[in-house]
Chain A
């Protein structure tokens, strides 16, 4: 189990998301707590790098960019972006 720690910038980004993706966002946070490595590497050239991305939404319309601090079992949520 990982501790998910959002950055304050995420609050405005969530406020800007369409309401229909918010249930998917809540599910995505749940996934980050359990299996943060299920996201893709932020940079495919650095597959073992600590930054990763999780795509969510019914039609993959948004992404969470986050940082895994493995030794502390923490997931720092850096950015949530609407890409739809």
Chain B
């Protein structure tokens, strides 16, 4: 269904797995709600996180909820090392700006940018991603890649796979 991320994201997937096929999102939050819980999760029933949507006569609020793997916590958990620190810094700056301007554009831009990096990180695996970042740093530092191959080798591989 989706990438298996650590901590917050993983906990959410575990909740979904436990809830089985009948789970759904909480009405005014991102909790995983099972059929057994009836109308809502605890935070909906007790008013935690309830916004103006709760008093809206229309059932569904037009304000979108973030998909689970794009929440700030899920993105942070999927990033590694310096990229995690860069995300936290960029996100905090964007939130400060949003608090001042009431404009979420910058916050959403930060989430989109780092969600893509987080996705790529998990796609190739954190260890391989770490190697890629280390390799880039080494090339910038020394001016060469000791593990380079020639373009002729790569072109020959492509031609062979294409049956040429």
Query: A residues near B, CB below 8 A?
Result: 4-11, 14-15, 19, 22-23, 25-26, 29, 42-45, 50-51, 63, 65, 67, 69, 72, 76, 78-79, 81, 83
Contact = CB atoms under 8 A, between A and B. Distances in A.
17 contacts: A6-B151, A7-B145, A7-B147, A9-B131, A9-B147, A11-B157, A14-B158, A23-B162, A26-B155, A43-B86, A44-B113, A50-B136, A63-B120, A76-B139, A76-B145, A78-B135, A79-B124
Contacts, number: 84
A81 B122 CA distance: 12
Interface residues of B, number: 31
Nearest to B87: A45
Most buried by A among B109, B145, B161: B145
A5 B148 contact: yes
B86 A67 contact: no
Given A44-B109, A81-B123, A7 B140 contact: no
B143 A69 contact: yes
Chain B interface mostly: helix
Contact of B140 (A44, A50, A83): A50
Contacts of B124: 79, 81
Given A72-B143, A79-B132, A81-B124, 13 more contacts: A5-B145, A7-B147, A8-B147, A14-B154, A15-B161, A19-B161, A22-B162, A25-B158, A26-B158, A45-B110, A50-B140, A65-B120, A81-B120
Contacts of B143: 69, 72
B158 A69 contact: no
A81 B154 CA distance: 15
A50 B140 CA distance: 9
B55 interface: no
Nearest to B94: A45
